[in-house]
Amino acid sequence: MSKLPAVLITGASSGIGATYAQRFARRGHDLVLVARNKERLDALAARLRDESGVNIDVLQADLTQAQDLARVEQRLAEDATIGVLINNAGAGQSGGFTQQTAAAIDSLLALNVTAVTRLAAAIAPRLARTGEGAIVNIGSVVGLAPELNMTVYGATKAFVLFLSQGLHLELGSKGVYVQAVLPAATRTEIWQHSGIDISTLPEVMEVEDLVDAALVGYDRRELVTIPPLHVADRWDALDGARRLLLSDLRQAQPAERYRVAG
């Protein structure tokens, strides 16, 4: 029996990332855990080694910092044992668009967009060459809902969904599985960091339920997994409408309504 691929997980010190680490360790995968908080990473790694007996490396990194991001990219590009990337690290948004500072916008884009893209780009060529492996990108249902008034955050998560769908089209035929996971409100520390009182939210999913559902989608090789969506046909209808729209966009002339004055 061939050895299971190692899994590199970003944002692994708590919440969704730490739960993914626990679940993959139980499955027998070696891990590379990435986050800023080394003390937490070390504690998690020690516990999972004891529980599961897998090999775990800890890689302290702030993915908004160029030097740290480059170190993780190098590990993904060069370590042939890593066959799965869980692109989980991300930050939330506090306040409306007009309340965002330039520094806050830069930091949010750096983590939610740039790091996600560059880490996927670091591992994708190697996975495509070997014809196997997986990239899991953690998005959000907010990326489907501008009505939720989290404009910058939602835009970054819309990017993650588009990126994942595009990567599937490019890499799927080469044997690389790409999954986008779209949580709704989940009980993690992102709310505290964003200055939002989680008790004010009407419904919140427990992180263990979120990750377990995402892994069901992973095992089924779903391209888009939306754990809180109870009527799966609604996503199929939305995606189907998008595909139908594409056939109407391949036209040489503007639509009639734009060729009539007044």
Q: Would you please indicate which residues are annotated as catalytic (active-site) residues?
A: 153
Would you say 182 and 144 are in contact if contact means Cβ atoms under 8 Å apart? Answer: yes
- Could you write out the three-class secondary structure of 157-170? HHHHHHHHHHHHHH
- The three-state secondary structure class of 206 is coil
Nearest-Å Rg of the Cα atoms of the chain is 19
Which residues are 31's β-sheet partners?
7, 56
Helix residue ranges per DSSP H, 101-206: 102-109, 116-130, 151-171, 190-193
